Amino acid sequence: MNRTEPLVLGIESSCDETGVGIVRGNTLLTNAVSSSMEEHVRFGGVIPEIASRAHLDAFVPTLRQALEEAGVTLDDVDAIAVTSGPGLAGALMVGVCAAKALAVATGKPLYAINHLVAHVGVGVLDGGELPENLGALLVSGGHTEILRVGSLTSDVELLGSTIDDAAGEAYDKVARILGLGYPGGPAIDKLAREGNPKAIRFPRGLTQPKYMGSAEAPGPHRYDWSFSGLKTAVARCVEQYEAAGQEPPVADIAASFQEAVVDVITSKAVLACTEHGITNLLLGGGVAANSRLRELTAERCAAAGISLRVPPIRLCTDNGAMVAALGAQVVMAGGQPSGVEFTPDPSQPVTSIHLPAA
Protein backbone atom coordinates (compact mmCIF):
# COMPACT_ATOMS: atom_id res chain seq x y z
CA MET A 1 0.00 0.00 0.00
CA ASN A 2 1.16 3.51 -0.82
CA ARG A 3 1.88 5.20 2.52
CA THR A 4 3.54 8.31 1.06
CA GLU A 5 0.59 9.84 -0.83
CA PRO A 6 -2.22 7.33 -0.40
CA LEU A 7 -5.41 7.64 -2.43
CA VAL A 8 -8.12 7.30 0.21
CA LEU A 9 -11.88 7.10 -0.21
CA GLY A 10 -13.78 8.40 2.83
CA ILE A 11 -17.38 7.61 3.78
CA GLU A 12 -19.44 9.70 6.22
CA SER A 13 -22.96 8.83 7.44
CA SER A 14 -23.10 9.86 11.12
CA CYS A 15 -26.21 12.05 10.84
CA ASP A 16 -28.18 13.39 7.87
CA GLU A 17 -25.42 13.86 5.28
CA THR A 18 -24.23 11.02 3.07
CA GLY A 19 -20.69 11.99 2.17
CA VAL A 20 -18.07 10.38 -0.04
CA GLY A 21 -14.75 12.17 -0.39
CA ILE A 22 -11.51 11.21 -2.09
CA VAL A 23 -8.08 12.59 -1.21
CA ARG A 24 -4.53 11.90 -2.33
CA GLY A 25 -2.25 12.54 0.63
CA ASN A 26 -3.13 16.11 1.68
CA THR A 27 -4.86 16.98 -1.60
CA LEU A 28 -8.63 17.00 -2.00
CA LEU A 29 -9.85 15.43 -5.24
CA THR A 30 -13.59 15.45 -4.63
CA ASN A 31 -16.18 15.93 -1.92
CA ALA A 32 -19.63 14.61 -2.87
CA VAL A 33 -22.43 15.14 -0.33
CA SER A 34 -26.11 14.22 -0.37
CA SER A 35 -28.19 15.73 2.44
CA SER A 36 -31.56 14.49 3.69
CA MET A 37 -32.23 17.74 5.59
CA GLU A 38 -35.36 18.56 3.58
CA GLU A 39 -36.92 15.28 4.71
CA HIS A 40 -36.59 16.33 8.36
CA VAL A 41 -37.95 19.89 8.06
CA ARG A 42 -41.55 19.08 8.95
CA PHE A 43 -40.37 17.35 12.13
CA GLY A 44 -38.18 20.25 13.26
CA GLY A 45 -35.11 18.04 13.69
CA VAL A 46 -33.32 14.94 12.45
CA ILE A 47 -35.36 11.72 12.65
CA PRO A 48 -32.83 8.84 12.91
CA GLU A 49 -34.90 6.30 10.98
CA ILE A 50 -35.49 8.72 8.11
CA ALA A 51 -31.78 9.60 8.05
CA SER A 52 -30.81 5.92 7.89
CA ARG A 53 -33.16 5.20 5.00
CA ALA A 54 -31.90 8.28 3.16
CA HIS A 55 -28.31 7.00 3.50
CA LEU A 56 -29.37 3.70 1.93
CA ASP A 57 -30.88 5.53 -1.04
CA ALA A 58 -28.06 8.03 -1.48
CA PHE A 59 -24.92 5.96 -0.97
CA VAL A 60 -24.40 4.37 -4.39
CA PRO A 61 -25.23 7.53 -6.39
CA THR A 62 -22.95 9.61 -4.14
CA LEU A 63 -20.13 7.05 -4.49
CA ARG A 64 -20.46 7.06 -8.27
CA GLN A 65 -20.45 10.87 -8.32
CA ALA A 66 -17.28 11.02 -6.21
CA LEU A 67 -15.39 8.49 -8.35
CA GLU A 68 -16.42 10.27 -11.54
CA GLU A 69 -15.46 13.72 -10.26
CA ALA A 70 -12.08 12.47 -9.03
CA GLY A 71 -11.43 10.58 -12.25
CA VAL A 72 -10.48 7.39 -10.42
CA THR A 73 -11.84 3.87 -10.00
CA LEU A 74 -12.14 1.66 -6.93
CA ASP A 75 -9.12 -0.27 -8.25
CA ASP A 76 -7.03 2.91 -7.98
CA VAL A 77 -7.90 3.45 -4.31
CA ASP A 78 -5.23 2.55 -1.71
CA ALA A 79 -7.54 2.48 1.33
CA ILE A 80 -11.10 3.06 2.45
CA ALA A 81 -11.95 5.11 5.54
CA VAL A 82 -15.37 5.29 7.21
CA THR A 83 -16.87 7.11 10.18
CA SER A 84 -17.35 4.55 12.96
CA GLY A 85 -18.59 7.07 15.56
CA PRO A 86 -19.79 9.09 17.28
CA GLY A 87 -23.18 9.62 15.67
CA LEU A 88 -26.64 8.12 15.21
CA ALA A 89 -26.44 4.33 15.55
CA GLY A 90 -28.58 3.45 12.54
CA ALA A 91 -26.99 6.07 10.31
CA LEU A 92 -23.48 4.92 11.24
CA MET A 93 -24.46 1.33 10.52
CA VAL A 94 -25.37 2.14 6.91
CA GLY A 95 -22.02 3.77 6.16
CA VAL A 96 -20.01 1.11 7.99
CA CYS A 97 -21.80 -1.75 6.23
CA ALA A 98 -21.28 -0.07 2.86
CA ALA A 99 -17.58 0.45 3.61
CA LYS A 100 -17.15 -3.15 4.72
CA ALA A 101 -18.85 -4.39 1.55
CA LEU A 102 -16.53 -2.28 -0.59
CA ALA A 103 -13.48 -3.45 1.35
CA VAL A 104 -14.39 -7.11 0.99
CA ALA A 105 -15.28 -6.73 -2.72
CA THR A 106 -12.09 -4.83 -3.61
CA GLY A 107 -9.61 -6.25 -1.11
CA LYS A 108 -8.71 -2.72 0.01
CA PRO A 109 -7.72 -2.05 3.66
CA LEU A 110 -10.45 -0.43 5.76
CA TYR A 111 -9.93 2.18 8.48
CA ALA A 112 -12.62 3.01 11.08
CA ILE A 113 -12.32 6.75 11.75
CA ASN A 114 -13.48 9.05 14.57
CA HIS A 115 -15.98 11.62 13.28
CA LEU A 116 -14.89 14.40 15.66
CA VAL A 117 -11.18 14.05 15.01
CA ALA A 118 -11.99 14.01 11.29
CA HIS A 119 -13.40 17.53 11.70
CA VAL A 120 -9.87 18.50 12.78
CA GLY A 121 -8.13 16.40 10.13
CA VAL A 122 -9.95 18.20 7.34
CA GLY A 123 -7.71 21.17 8.10
CA VAL A 124 -4.85 19.54 6.19
CA LEU A 125 -6.88 19.92 2.98
CA ASP A 126 -6.96 23.69 3.42
CA GLY A 127 -3.53 24.94 4.34
CA GLY A 128 -1.51 21.74 4.59
CA GLU A 129 0.13 20.35 7.70
CA LEU A 130 -1.48 21.33 10.98
CA PRO A 131 0.59 23.46 13.39
CA GLU A 132 1.89 22.41 16.80
CA ASN A 133 0.21 23.49 20.07
CA LEU A 134 -3.11 22.91 18.33
CA GLY A 135 -6.61 23.00 19.76
CA ALA A 136 -9.95 22.47 18.05
CA LEU A 137 -13.31 24.05 18.79
CA LEU A 138 -16.02 21.88 17.23
CA VAL A 139 -19.54 23.31 17.17
CA SER A 140 -22.37 21.49 15.41
CA GLY A 141 -25.90 20.18 15.74
CA GLY A 142 -24.75 17.14 17.68
CA HIS A 143 -21.47 18.18 19.28
CA THR A 144 -19.82 21.10 21.08
CA GLU A 145 -16.27 20.34 22.23
CA ILE A 146 -12.88 21.87 22.82
CA LEU A 147 -9.98 19.50 22.10
CA ARG A 148 -6.23 19.52 22.61
CA VAL A 149 -4.51 17.94 19.61
CA GLY A 150 -1.02 16.70 20.46
CA SER A 151 -0.94 14.46 17.39
CA LEU A 152 -3.75 14.16 14.87
CA THR A 153 -3.26 10.41 14.60
CA SER A 154 -2.29 9.39 18.13
CA ASP A 155 -2.90 12.06 20.80
CA VAL A 156 -6.22 13.91 21.08
CA GLU A 157 -7.65 14.97 24.45
CA LEU A 158 -11.14 16.22 25.30
CA LEU A 159 -10.87 19.37 27.44
CA GLY A 160 -14.53 20.35 27.57
CA SER A 161 -17.92 19.57 26.04
CA THR A 162 -21.60 20.31 26.37
CA ILE A 163 -23.29 18.44 29.20
CA ASP A 164 -26.75 18.63 27.58
CA ASP A 165 -27.80 20.19 24.26
CA ALA A 166 -25.19 20.87 21.62
CA ALA A 167 -25.11 24.47 20.37
CA GLY A 168 -26.70 23.59 17.03
CA GLU A 169 -29.43 21.65 18.79
CA ALA A 170 -30.16 24.68 20.99
CA TYR A 171 -30.44 26.84 17.86
CA ASP A 172 -32.98 24.42 16.37
CA LYS A 173 -35.09 24.33 19.53
CA VAL A 174 -35.08 28.10 19.97
CA ALA A 175 -35.93 28.61 16.30
CA ARG A 176 -38.95 26.36 16.84
CA ILE A 177 -40.00 28.49 19.86
CA LEU A 178 -39.69 31.64 17.74
CA GLY A 179 -41.54 30.11 14.78
CA LEU A 180 -38.53 30.28 12.47
CA GLY A 181 -38.52 26.69 11.20
CA TYR A 182 -35.73 24.17 10.69
CA PRO A 183 -32.75 24.27 10.47
CA GLY A 184 -32.58 26.95 13.14
CA GLY A 185 -28.96 28.08 12.83
CA PRO A 186 -29.13 29.99 9.52
CA ALA A 187 -32.57 31.46 10.37
CA ILE A 188 -31.47 32.82 13.76
CA ASP A 189 -28.14 34.07 12.40
CA LYS A 190 -29.94 36.05 9.67
CA LEU A 191 -32.65 37.46 11.95
CA ALA A 192 -30.14 38.34 14.69
CA ARG A 193 -28.57 40.95 12.39
CA GLU A 194 -31.80 42.93 12.67
CA GLY A 195 -31.98 42.72 16.47
CA ASN A 196 -30.19 44.12 19.50
CA PRO A 197 -27.92 41.50 21.12
CA LYS A 198 -28.04 43.46 24.40
CA ALA A 199 -31.81 43.74 24.55
CA ILE A 200 -32.23 40.75 26.85
CA ARG A 201 -29.60 39.35 29.20
CA PHE A 202 -29.99 35.60 28.79
CA PRO A 203 -28.05 33.26 31.13
CA ARG A 204 -24.56 31.96 30.34
CA GLY A 205 -24.61 28.38 31.62
CA LEU A 206 -21.85 26.95 33.84
CA THR A 207 -20.08 30.30 34.26
CA GLN A 208 -20.61 30.80 37.99
CA PRO A 209 -17.60 30.41 40.35
CA LYS A 210 -18.85 27.05 41.68
CA TYR A 211 -18.56 25.67 38.13
CA MET A 212 -15.56 27.65 36.91
CA GLY A 213 -13.50 27.55 40.10
CA SER A 214 -10.13 29.25 39.71
CA ALA A 215 -6.93 28.57 37.80
CA GLU A 216 -5.51 26.90 40.92
CA ALA A 217 -8.67 24.97 41.83
CA PRO A 218 -10.81 24.52 38.71
CA GLY A 219 -14.51 23.81 39.11
CA PRO A 220 -16.10 20.59 37.82
CA HIS A 221 -17.20 22.20 34.52
CA ARG A 222 -14.49 24.78 33.87
CA TYR A 223 -14.42 24.18 30.10
CA ASP A 224 -17.90 22.64 29.71
CA TRP A 225 -21.07 24.18 28.32
CA SER A 226 -24.78 23.90 29.08
CA PHE A 227 -27.50 25.30 26.82
CA SER A 228 -30.67 23.76 28.28
CA GLY A 229 -31.19 26.61 30.77
CA LEU A 230 -30.73 29.17 28.01
CA LYS A 231 -33.33 27.43 25.85
CA THR A 232 -35.77 27.47 28.79
CA ALA A 233 -35.08 31.16 29.42
CA VAL A 234 -35.99 31.97 25.82
CA ALA A 235 -39.24 30.00 26.13
CA ARG A 236 -40.14 31.83 29.36
CA CYS A 237 -39.33 35.18 27.76
CA VAL A 238 -41.70 34.50 24.85
CA GLU A 239 -44.40 33.27 27.24
CA GLN A 240 -44.18 36.48 29.30
CA TYR A 241 -44.72 38.68 26.25
CA GLU A 242 -47.64 36.55 25.07
CA ALA A 243 -49.22 36.48 28.55
CA ALA A 244 -49.15 40.29 28.54
CA GLY A 245 -50.84 40.33 25.15
CA GLN A 246 -47.71 41.66 23.45
CA GLU A 247 -45.92 40.50 20.32
CA PRO A 248 -42.48 39.09 21.28
CA PRO A 249 -39.57 41.10 19.77
CA VAL A 250 -38.35 38.11 17.80
CA ALA A 251 -35.29 39.78 16.27
CA ASP A 252 -34.08 41.04 19.66
CA ILE A 253 -34.67 37.63 21.24
CA ALA A 254 -32.78 35.90 18.41
CA ALA A 255 -29.86 38.33 18.67
CA SER A 256 -29.71 38.09 22.48
CA PHE A 257 -29.91 34.30 22.38
CA GLN A 258 -27.15 34.08 19.78
CA GLU A 259 -24.94 36.44 21.76
CA ALA A 260 -25.36 34.29 24.87
CA VAL A 261 -24.36 31.16 22.94
CA VAL A 262 -21.29 32.56 21.18
CA ASP A 263 -20.17 34.53 24.25
CA VAL A 264 -19.92 31.46 26.45
CA ILE A 265 -18.54 29.20 23.70
CA THR A 266 -15.72 31.55 22.77
CA SER A 267 -14.82 32.64 26.31
CA LYS A 268 -14.47 29.06 27.56
CA ALA A 269 -12.63 27.93 24.43
CA VAL A 270 -10.07 30.72 24.77
CA LEU A 271 -9.73 29.99 28.50
CA ALA A 272 -9.00 26.33 27.76
CA CYS A 273 -6.44 27.30 25.14
CA THR A 274 -4.57 29.78 27.34
CA GLU A 275 -4.48 27.39 30.30
CA HIS A 276 -3.19 24.48 28.19
CA GLY A 277 -0.57 26.33 26.14
CA ILE A 278 -2.61 26.08 22.94
CA THR A 279 -1.51 28.80 20.51
CA ASN A 280 -3.33 27.61 17.37
CA LEU A 281 -7.08 26.94 17.19
CA LEU A 282 -9.13 25.29 14.46
CA LEU A 283 -12.85 26.09 14.36
CA GLY A 284 -14.99 23.38 12.77
CA GLY A 285 -18.44 21.81 12.65
CA GLY A 286 -21.61 23.01 10.96
CA VAL A 287 -22.16 25.94 13.35
CA ALA A 288 -18.80 27.32 12.22
CA ALA A 289 -20.91 28.83 9.42
CA ASN A 290 -22.47 31.18 11.98
CA SER A 291 -21.27 34.72 11.26
CA ARG A 292 -21.26 35.92 14.87
CA LEU A 293 -19.42 32.83 16.12
CA ARG A 294 -16.70 33.31 13.51
CA GLU A 295 -16.46 37.02 14.29
CA LEU A 296 -16.23 36.71 18.07
CA THR A 297 -13.89 33.70 17.94
CA ALA A 298 -11.52 35.65 15.70
CA GLU A 299 -11.73 38.70 17.94
CA ARG A 300 -11.03 36.84 21.18
CA CYS A 301 -8.32 34.64 19.68
CA ALA A 302 -6.52 37.73 18.38
CA ALA A 303 -6.72 39.36 21.80
CA ALA A 304 -5.26 36.23 23.43
CA GLY A 305 -2.49 35.78 20.83
CA ILE A 306 -4.05 32.61 19.43
CA SER A 307 -3.85 31.93 15.69
CA LEU A 308 -7.27 30.93 14.30
CA ARG A 309 -7.86 28.62 11.36
CA VAL A 310 -11.32 28.05 9.86
CA PRO A 311 -11.72 25.61 6.94
CA PRO A 312 -14.16 26.54 4.15
CA ILE A 313 -17.81 26.07 5.16
CA ARG A 314 -18.23 23.08 2.81
CA LEU A 315 -15.49 21.29 4.77
CA CYS A 316 -16.86 22.31 8.19
CA THR A 317 -20.20 20.55 7.77
CA ASP A 318 -20.25 16.72 7.80
CA ASN A 319 -18.59 15.33 4.68
CA GLY A 320 -16.62 12.37 3.36
CA ALA A 321 -13.54 14.45 2.57
CA MET A 322 -12.77 14.94 6.26
CA VAL A 323 -12.98 11.17 6.84
CA ALA A 324 -10.71 10.53 3.87
CA ALA A 325 -8.30 13.23 5.10
CA LEU A 326 -7.91 11.71 8.56
CA GLY A 327 -7.77 8.23 7.04
CA ALA A 328 -4.88 9.34 4.83
CA GLN A 329 -3.05 10.80 7.83
CA VAL A 330 -3.44 7.50 9.70
CA VAL A 331 -2.16 5.56 6.69
CA MET A 332 0.85 7.87 6.28
CA ALA A 333 1.60 7.56 10.01
CA GLY A 334 1.82 3.78 9.64
CA GLY A 335 -1.53 3.00 11.26
CA GLN A 336 -2.87 -0.51 10.81
CA PRO A 337 -6.23 -1.24 9.13
CA SER A 338 -9.29 -1.87 11.30
CA GLY A 339 -10.40 -5.00 9.43
CA VAL A 340 -14.11 -5.75 9.09
CA GLU A 341 -14.87 -7.07 12.59
CA PHE A 342 -15.41 -3.68 14.27
CA THR A 343 -18.85 -2.29 15.07
CA PRO A 344 -20.01 1.35 14.95
CA ASP A 345 -19.73 3.18 18.27
CA PRO A 346 -22.32 5.99 18.67
CA SER A 347 -20.36 7.27 21.69
CA GLN A 348 -16.82 6.78 20.36
CA PRO A 349 -14.49 9.02 22.45
CA VAL A 350 -12.03 11.41 20.78
CA THR A 351 -9.15 9.46 22.30
CA SER A 352 -10.13 6.60 19.98
CA ILE A 353 -8.92 8.23 16.75
CA HIS A 354 -9.22 5.09 14.65
CA LEU A 355 -10.27 1.61 15.70
CA PRO A 356 -7.58 -1.09 15.68
CA ALA A 357 -8.27 -4.51 14.21
CA ALA A 358 -10.23 -6.81 16.53
Residue in 200, 169, 175 with CA at minimum distance from that of residue 190? 175
Tell how far CA 67 is from the center of its chain: 25
At 312, give phi and psi (nearest 5°).
Answer: -55, 150
User: How many other C-beta atoms are found inside a 10 Å radius of the C-beta of residue 350?
Assistant: 23
Q: Is 115 annotated as a binding residue?
A: yes
Q: Is 172 annotated as a binding residue?
A: yes
Query: Measured between alpha carbons, how far is 216 from 37 in angstroms, rounded to an integer?
Result: 45
Q: Is 75 annotated as a binding residue?
A: no
Q: Is 184 annotated as a binding residue?
A: no
Q: Is 142 annotated as a binding residue?
A: yes
Query: Measured between alpha carbons, how far is 349 from 339 in angstroms, rounded to an integer?
Result: 20
Please, which residues bridge with residue 80 across strands? 9, 110
Pairing between β-strand 79-85 and β-strand 7-12 as defined by DSSP bridges: parallel
Q: Is 354 annotated as a binding residue?
A: no
Q: Is 189 annotated as a binding residue?
A: yes
Query: Measured between alpha carbons, how far is 254 from 190 in angstroms, rounded to an integer?
Result: 9
Q: Is 138 annotated as a binding residue?
A: yes
Single-letter code of the amino acid located at 324: A
Query: Measured between alpha carbons, how far is 111 from 119 in angstroms, rounded to an integer?
Result: 16
Q: Is 140 annotated as a binding residue?
A: yes
Q: Known binding site for substrate: residues?
A: 138-142, 172, 185, 189, 290
Residues placed in the known binding site for Fe cation: 115, 119, 318
Per the annotation, where are the binding residues? 115, 119, 138-142, 172, 185, 189, 290, 318
